[in-house]
Chain A
């Protein structure tokens, strides 16, 4: 069983290697199927390991596997080691499960792309890195996966690199993430400095049983780790890359930028909960406050987006904010619970959006959608389930997990709860808006089809070469089965995933008791009484109803002109991105340029000036200047001899 642990990442690695060598020849769809099979095999291995863990006594549900020593240096010894415990296996299960579905979906979505097999090479490499991140038994392994997923994200965002926007988005994602990585690295330095190891078990034993890490150090470590997490998980102000990352193919947005990679920050902080537990309050408060700000800020921005993927992108940022609120309040179970349900419904929503985009010949502007429910019934049905889940309608999964996060906020303070509730209302509102604009109402695409603009056409050619008959009529169409089957499976999961952690009795809190061993008693328990919890849940349901109702009022019945609730400032996401871009392109660039100027003019200028001065003197001493290096060398030798003779004569023999 122990050894099965290494099979989990091994399969996608194998897929990556096989496809790297043979992918081009295998072509479509074989390379896609190989990639899917590998991730599927990985999922099966994960299930076996999971059942193995389940069969163990809850106190020692751990598998450890040490492959080889990676970086030994002095006291430092970092291994390529895997740790299979309830937390990592939870992550592994949904990562591999969702990945398998998205891989399968991508076979249909990427159909006809000239770089079809390359796409799956990157995708397999991504899954491998993600599994390394999750399964690593020390911080440096996690960092290896952390950077690995970052670079795959870079490859995949700029997958269609001919377009400058895509290329820039990829670079922006990588560089912004690196800002976070700085924090991660500094945190590792502090930990090694204090603990002398980067292994999780060593770190935890030194915090739980020893007092190696003082409160001050722990606080610094937590803040630094949080900077890293904020980069990867798109928290304010490092979230900037995520909306741009939507430039990648939609399966990538679903897999990397919604379900898996962007939740790594939540994973990291949950993993390090013993350190969070001894850090001073302000650092954990910082985490939930930033999470809250992000949740609210991004939810508001999502309200006014017209690009269907941008709505979902801001929604992801916002939902990640919810998870950070939970982590910062010490409700790790709620964070992981929401992470899992979010992975299901957000992957579903992205894939549904992809199906719509696919059916609409790469049109992403929702103002040109409408009434698509008729044309794409399966997509619409599954999408609606996902919508109900994210909006917090009981008994869909999102309701249960979001409710726990709201409880976390309530437990921190009442203002936080109110603000987070507003974010939840906004969530229900913008998602309903998206659904109404896309699937209901009058079809808007009929008007547009004659006035297709040119750059859209270029995109279309990629996907619809062999669908030319449909293309000519521009009729939206339902996606092939290979894309709808994953939608159906994810829709089922999005509906029922709430059973993972139903709040009724201790026995229904499956996730909580499953994760208990890795939380070392650091999970905060809600003090509110049962009655309060019921009332809060009712308020949350009412909130969801208000959000949906408002959207019905505006976008279904058209009682208010929609541009009132879509002000420009929200469409620009408060103008923050623009402001940062302006700063980087303006003063930031000028600063960099001034250094280059300094180097060229001042430093090199001084050198050349000295040279010229020497030359000037040289004209006076022309006789000696033959211009031949050997003459100078000769001079050097004579000079050296003089020095040598000088020292020899001064020596006492």
Chain B
């Protein structure tokens, strides 16, 4: 069945334009272009960087329109890389990666346009462009080795972005970030190599790192699969990050320059959650099911623990960082629900968290720029002097809280619904996180924005037209995806369904089936009312309110 699986999952025709290579390589060309620009012309650096990352954004939009709603990998690009080791350049996009590609395509130019670095413009833009290339590569890779290479590449630019352009204890934060992630990925590398070689041994084929071939023909034993899964999972868990390997995140987020935080939260954390879905579940369906309770628990811990610790933070940026831990806990919860709603919700939540938290970091950056502090205690009364800033913050905050009608709710609700269907109690406990999210964000908002007006000489400047323009697309996305998420959900669902089917196929019993649709005989309310009216006596016999009887 391996070969049919493999064949069915690829789109039949290859597009003539090398879409995916363009996504990955354009930023690199951009980085070279920036490098060749004279150092003195800092404005030019920004222009070139915007141009190239903007082109990537445009291509990602084109991909969104050209994407066909089915479960296939599309825009496939395949080439031999290191033949003797079976390593390929093999990339494609399906419903799960589609929106992450678009998010990566659009968030980078936005971050580049929005924020100017404090110094050394040239190097700053070079690193950002390399980072974009790395993130893109990781999201489109369908070859394990290729994925690993890009997964690693992103570390280096981020290390320098935090270390060189960061605030405060930046060196410490950067090193911590680097070492933590390195530790995880070293073990993942071993697992990748072990998986490829064991697979080729057990399947009796040439060595390959091709994700679809390995996943489509699971030859390794259950026990081996479980061990290798843990190897992958550790790397992803650090990246997500999951409790208790999360402590690099608050430091990295807090000390990073604004663009770094936006990208880190918006895109890079998703490498971990995406890794779980794309590689964890796909390669090791049995192990994923076996270890699901562990990860569900870690997800729930992340949700509650992240929220509780966020509540007590005195630094606004650190608070948002901890809120990320809570939100990503939701994504893990949905992923390991292993059903359509859960995984679809997780995928949606990845995008929504990217938008909301990206916007939140932008706004915190704007506040920091004006007030030169992120200490909540030193802020207050900003709403009076900067009502539009406050309004933008409110919308983004409500999206982060998960208010229905805004984007954050859709993912959270589907995740909880999926998790409930699969493992009831985890969802019931996780839903408490919804209460806590309101607590820490509203409390922070109150202390920063409410309260008596700032003194006359210390008035916060409201958003400039330029800043409004930057935030507008994010806010439009927040509202649009909250009111009409259907186009997004429809594109994601086929790939998720295929993944769920794949997991169920390899798990005995298939314990996490959705409830069978049981309604449908009566779709109209009118029929129901009429019916109950006509058979009014139907209910009298078993009415438990049997105190007086009907007259």
Which A positions have Cβ atoms within 8 angstroms of B?
58-62, 64, 68-76, 83, 85, 137, 140, 143-144, 147-148, 151, 154, 158, 161-162, 164, 167-168, 170-171, 174-175, 178-179, 181-182, 185-186, 188-190, 192-197, 199-202, 204-206, 208-210, 212, 277-281, 284, 329-330, 411-412, 517-518, 520-522, 524-528, 592-593, 595-596, 599, 603-604, 607, 611, 629, 632-633, 636, 639-640, 643-644, 647-648, 650-652
- Which of B178, B514, B519, B536 is close to A195, meaning CB atoms less than 8 Å apart? B519
Contacts of B486 in A (CB 8 A): 68-72
Q: Report B337 CB to chain A, min CB distance, Å.
A: 11
A171-B442, A528-B548 known; 6 new pairs, CB 8 Å cut-off, are: A64-B526, A70-B485, A524-B548, A525-B551, A592-B312, A640-B189
Contacts of A186 in B (CB 8 A): 420, 427-428, 431
A652 and B201 in contact, given A74-B514, A167-B446 (Cβ under 8 angstroms): yes
- B548–A210 contact, CB under 8 A? no
Q: Give CA–CA (A611, B200) in the complex, Å.
A: 38
Contacts of B403 in A (CB 8 A): 147-148, 151
Say which one of B91-99, B270-278, B527-535 lies at the interface with A: B527-535
- B451–A164 contact, CB under 8 A? yes
Nearest neighbor of A591 in chain B, beta-carbon distance: B308
- B548–A604 contact, CB under 8 A? no
- A64–B524 contact, CB under 8 A? yes
Of the listed residues B156, B424, B439, B550, the one surrounded by the most CB atoms of chain A closer than 10 A to its CB is: B439
How many A-B contacts at CB < 8 Å in the complex?
274
* B316 at interface, CB cutoff 8 A: no
Q: Give CA–CA (A197, B190) in the complex, Å.
A: 46
Q: Report B432 CB to chain A, min CB distance, Å.
A: 6
Say which one of B120-128, B365-373, B411-419 lies at the interface with A: B411-419
Contacts of B179 in A (CB 8 A): 611
Nearest neighbor of B394 in chain A, beta-carbon distance: A155
Nearest neighbor of A602 in chain B, beta-carbon distance: B244
Q: Report B530 CB to chain A, min CB distance, Å.
A: 5
A147 and B404 in contact, given A161-B451, A185-B416 (Cβ under 8 angstroms): yes
- B532–A208 contact, CB under 8 A? yes
- B178–A73 contact, CB under 8 A? no
- A596–B313 contact, CB under 8 A? yes
B residues 91-115 in Cβ contact with A at 8 Å = none
- Which of A412, A599, A648 is close to B247, meaning CB atoms less than 8 Å apart? A599
Nearest neighbor of A331 in chain B, beta-carbon distance: B545
Q: Give CA–CA (A127, B431) in the complex, Å.
A: 28
Contacts of B424 in A (CB 8 A): 189, 193
* B443 at interface, CB cutoff 8 A: yes
Contacts of B516 in A (CB 8 A): 196
Q: Give CA–CA (A182, B413) in the complex, Å.
A: 12
Q: Give CA–CA (A599, B247) in the complex, Å.
A: 8
Contacts of A197 in B (CB 8 A): 517, 519
- A62–B525 contact, CB under 8 A? yes
Say which one of B61-69, B284-292, B339-347, B355-363 lies at the interface with A: B339-347
- B383–A520 contact, CB under 8 A? no
A522 and B545 in contact, given A74-B339, A179-B435 (Cβ under 8 angstroms): yes
- A599–B405 contact, CB under 8 A? no
* B165 at interface, CB cutoff 8 A: no
A196 and B515 in contact, given A520-B539, A522-B545 (Cβ under 8 angstroms): yes
Nearest neighbor of A74 in chain B, beta-carbon distance: B340
A68 and B484 in contact, given A182-B432, A189-B417 (Cβ under 8 angstroms): yes
A517 and B519 in contact, given A74-B340, A171-B442 (Cβ under 8 angstroms): no
- B446–A596 contact, CB under 8 A? no
- A73–B489 contact, CB under 8 A? yes
- B522–A201 contact, CB under 8 A? yes
* B133 at interface, CB cutoff 8 A: no
- Which of A162, A195, A524, A525 is close to B451, meaning CB atoms less than 8 Å apart? A162
B residues 492-551 in Cβ contact with A at 8 Å = 493, 497, 514-519, 521-534, 536-540, 542-545, 547-551
Q: Mark B171-184, 1 if CB is under 8 A from A, else 0.
A: 00000101110100
Contacts of B156 in A (CB 8 A): 629, 633
Contacts of A71 in B (CB 8 A): 410, 413-414, 485-486, 489
* B384 at interface, CB cutoff 8 A: yes
Contacts of B420 in A (CB 8 A): 186, 189-190, 192-193
- B446–A208 contact, CB under 8 A? no
- A175–B438 contact, CB under 8 A? yes
A651 and B417 in contact, given A68-B484, A74-B341, A206-B518 (Cβ under 8 angstroms): no
Q: Give CA–CA (A171, B311) in the complex, Å.
A: 14
- A85–B442 contact, CB under 8 A? no
Q: List 13 A-B contacts (CB under 8 A).
A: A71-B489, A72-B489, A74-B341, A75-B515, A182-B435, A189-B417, A192-B420, A524-B547, A527-B549, A596-B308, A607-B176, A636-B182, A643-B189
Contacts of B77 in A (CB 8 A): none
Q: Report B19 CB to chain A, min CB distance, Å.
A: 28
* B213 at interface, CB cutoff 8 A: no
Q: Report B369 CB to chain A, min CB distance, Å.
A: 23
Q: Give CA–CA (A290, B309) in the complex, Å.
A: 34
A629 and B159 in contact, given A73-B340, A171-B442 (Cβ under 8 angstroms): yes
Contacts of A636 in B (CB 8 A): 182, 186
Contacts of B280 in A (CB 8 A): none
Nearest neighbor of A129 in chain B, beta-carbon distance: B405
* B224 at interface, CB cutoff 8 A: no
- A208–B538 contact, CB under 8 A? yes
Nearest neighbor of B540 in chain A, beta-carbon distance: A521
Of the listed residues A164, A205, A208, A651, the one surrounded by the most CB atoms of chain B closer than 10 A to its CB is: A205
Nearest neighbor of B178 in chain A, beta-carbon distance: A629
Q: Give CA–CA (A542, B411) in the complex, Å.
A: 57
Task: Return the 7 tightest CB-CB contacts between A and B, nearest first.
Answer: A527-B548, A74-B340, A167-B450, A596-B312, A189-B420, A201-B525, A202-B519
Q: Report B209 CB to chain A, min CB distance, Å.
A: 11
Contacts of A595 in B (CB 8 A): 305, 308-309, 312
Q: Mark B437-455, 1 if CB is under 8 A from A, else 0.
A: 0110011001001111100
Nearest neighbor of B539 in chain A, beta-carbon distance: A521
A205 and B442 in contact, given A144-B404, A277-B545, A525-B549 (Cβ under 8 angstroms): no
Contacts of A143 in B (CB 8 A): 404
- B529–A518 contact, CB under 8 A? yes
